[in-house]
């Protein structure tokens, strides 16, 4: 494990704190991902979860790769998740994606050179009345404009805002 990962003992404590059973696997993985400074479930972490829950690594990996909200590789510090539901699509979510491509200078799924930002697409977040919508950490932002997004990026970059 590297300096950025939880120890085996810390990982087991998170597993127990979040139910500690196979039935709690999704919540366990989400909480472990949130605890990861790099925002993903590492191979070592998945191995510990598998061992503790008496599952195979393949079963854990299948769960991680099935759910869009779980990641298998390090993420940028701030990941903009663009809703692509039909209402958001009609309220111009594609323009939001174009904005991020131009403003950040990266393609969906790529991180900026400084490791601060990335963006990708997600299915409906249930905020159809305020589309287009992005999710950033646990915050949902809607009725988006390029002016608001520029300000948000600037605030995140200068640490005026954390989410």
Kindly tell me if the per-residue pLDDT of 3 is higher than 50: no
27 with 97, same domain: the answer is no
- Domain residues for 12? 8-66
The domain boundary, picked from 18, 37, 66, lies at 66
Please tell me whether residues 106 and 56 are part of one structural domain.
no
**Residue 141 structure tokens:** 């932002």
Residue 156 DSSP SS3: helix
- Report d(CA 155, CA 152) in Å as an integer: 5
Residue 129 located in a structural domain = yes
pLDDT of residue 163: 64
User: Considering all CA atoms of the chain, what is the largest pairwise distance in Å, rounded to the nearest integer?
Assistant: 50
**93 lies in the same domain as 40:** no
- Is 135 part of a structural domain of the chain? yes
pLDDT, tens digit, for every residue of 70-128?
A: 999 888 999 999 999 888 888 888 999 999 999 999 999 999 999 999 999 988 889 99
């Amino acid at each position: 494990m590297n300096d950025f990962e939880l120890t085996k003992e810390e990982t087991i404590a998170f597993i127990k704190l979040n139910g500690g059973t196979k039935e709690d696997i999704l919540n366990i993985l989400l909480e472990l991902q949130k605890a990861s400074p790099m925002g993903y479930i590492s191979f070592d972490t998945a191995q510990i979860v598998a061992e503790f829950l008496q599952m195979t690594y393949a079963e854990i990996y299948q769960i991680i790769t099935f759910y869009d909200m779980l990641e298998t590789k390090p993420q940028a510090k701030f990941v903009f998740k663009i809703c692509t539901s039909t209402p958001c699509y009609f309220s111009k979510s594609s323009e939001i994606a174009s904005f991020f491509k131009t403003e950040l200078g990266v393609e969906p799924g790529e991180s900026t050179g400084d490791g601060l930002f990335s963006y990708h697409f997600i299915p409906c977040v249930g905020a159809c009345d305020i589309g287009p919508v992005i999710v950033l950490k646990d915050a949902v932002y809607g009725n988006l404009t390029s002016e608001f997004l520029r300000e948000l990026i600037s605030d995140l970059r200068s640490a005026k805002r954390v989410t």
